[in-house]
Copies of this chain bind each other. A is one copy, B any other.
């Protein structure tokens, strides 16, 4: 089941729509987010400036600050709303195939925005704003429902026992991908994903508890 992700608000706020006045131009949101992601990919979080983002989007700085209170918020929102690949689950007939397909899709580096470089910038932003930290948990792995479906299938195929500690095992791939990214700068290759799945993930799932 695929989730259509669209204009997610990081902090869910109600709608205090101020009557009259010119409404925010939604087109500027997208232009600014794109500009932010481009710059993030090109020069990284620290060298990316708000002025540069505004200039690239042919916007004024006030237009940026009207939407996001800081650089970090802009980056996080841009990432969540523009760079997050869809994460629907294919059915390949095996647990290994499903897991691999899902991981590849999430960590695909041929996305319009190079996920790896942008992800490093995103982590910078998150670290500077601890209150947004859990965002990383959200975006570095597929939605909970997708993960659950994946394991349900595997159980019904008899590939693995009824899993326990799924919330922990579900962290294995995102943890190792991000660690790799941060310590080497390299995005997780398909080979890396395959190795993690074969060497760590599957044995953990297959293990009997006693």
Contact = CB atoms under 8 A, between A and B. Distances in A.
Interface of A: 44-46, 120-121, 123-124, 126-128, 130, 133-134, 136-137, 140, 164-165, 168-169, 171-172, 174-176, 178-180, 182-185, 195-196, 199-200, 202-204, 206-207
B182 A171 contact: no
Contact of A165 (B137, B195, B206): B195
Instruction: Please state the number of chain copies in the assembly.
Output: 4
A127 B182 contact: yes
A48 to B, nearest CB: 11
B136 A169 contact: no
Given A206-B207, A207-B203, A182 B124 contact: no
Given A128-B46, A176-B171, A178-B179, A165 B203 contact: no
